[in-house]
A and B are shown apart, each in its own frame.
Chain A
């Protein structure tokens, strides 16, 4: 993407509190739950709350829901003064699935540490959450407690400093 698209996502984040940036609609149930979490500003990381996949996150922009890759996310985050140069924790499902996933690529682009979940993030009304895989049962997604995941830190270039 050329520089002509710089600013495309300006104002895209739909709310922030110190140490947190939300890219979900305020009406999103996941957002409503996760924003009650007790570990905000964990280790000084900025929390990014968005729906995610192994290779992308979903954001709101201009009234539309769009999916962006790590390159565009890096540009978006660089434009956000609250995030400049800070380590990031992604509360976005599967973004830390492996070393080819979104989080590692984002760490490389931004030159900051990015912590991200290896599997789905499951949140509850009291703000508690855990990382685990999911299984479809009769077309409905359920947490698979036999497939627990965790948050992993990804470092620029893939190496721990």
Chain B
């Protein structure tokens, strides 16, 4: 279904405005417009996600360094986590006070890195965004 929005001033069909977090419609004829704020759903998702790695991921240098970085632990601690033989939580989405990324976006970023490294992991609760 096509739904046109017509300008309330002149009746022309309005076109979209989309600049950073300001979105809306603009009349190309008379300049009238209507704007608001818009954030991607991932940037407003406040769920407290937890990422855990599964047992039996390869205990190799690349994986150890990655886990150390994500879990904010040292190399030896990361090696122990990887080789523990059980599920290990390595990341919790917190409320970092000042970040350019929202917490669900940070979870997405961590998940991407783990996926690229081939590490098997879970996100709880179910993460509704792609990574």
The contact of A8 among B21, B22, B98, by CB within 8 Å, is B98
B37 touches A120 (CB 8 A): yes
Residue A26 is within 8 A (CB to CB) of chain B in the complex = no
A77 is an interface residue with CB less than 8 A from chain B: no
Q: Which residues of B contact A123 (CB under 8 A)?
A: 34-36
Q: Does B33 contact A (CB under 8 A)?
A: yes
- Report A101 CB to chain B, min CB distance, Å: 10
Measured in the bound complex, the distance between the Cα atoms of B78 and A146 in whole Å is 53
Contacts of A140 in B (CB 8 A): 16, 18, 23, 25
Give the total of B residues in contact with A, Cβ under 8 Å: 31
The 8 Å CB contact of A142, one of B18, B25, B43, B97, is B25
**A134 with B36, Cβ < 8 A, contacts A68-B98, A72-B98, A142-B5 known:** yes
Contacts of A72 in B (CB 8 A): 97-98
User: In whole angstroms, what is the CA distance A118 to B68 when docked?
Assistant: 42
With contacts A51-B22, A122-B24, A142-B5 taken as known, whether A33 is within 8 angstroms of B35 at the C-beta atoms is yes
- Does any Cβ of A come within 8 Å of B46's Cβ? yes
A67 to B2 alpha-carbon distance, docked (Å): 35
Bound-complex Cα distance A158 to B44 (A): 23
B129 at the interface (CB under 8 A from A): no
Q: How far is the CB of A71 from chain B (nearest CB, A)?
A: 7
Number of A residues with CB within 8 Å of any CB on chain B:
39
B residues in contact with A55, CB < 8 Å? 44, 46
Is A65 in contact with chain B by the CB < 8 A criterion?
yes
Neighbour of B38 across the interface among A56, A65, A134, CB < 8 A = A134
Any chain B CB within 8 A of the CB of A38?
no
Write out the residue numbers on chain A whose beta carbons fall within 8 Å of the beta carbon of B19: 28-29
- A residues in contact (CB < 8 Å) with B: 1, 5, 8-9, 28-30, 33, 51-56, 58, 61, 64-69, 71-72, 92-93, 120-125, 134, 137-138, 140-143
Point out residues on B near A: beta carbons under 8 Å.
2-3, 5, 16-25, 31-39, 43-44, 46, 95, 97-100, 102
26 contacts between A and B (CB under 8 A): A1-B98, A5-B97, A5-B98, A9-B98, A28-B22, A29-B24, A33-B33, A33-B35, A51-B37, A51-B39, A53-B44, A61-B98, A65-B20, A67-B102, A68-B98, A71-B97, A72-B97, A92-B37, A93-B36, A122-B35, A123-B34, A124-B33, A140-B25, A141-B23, A141-B38, A143-B34
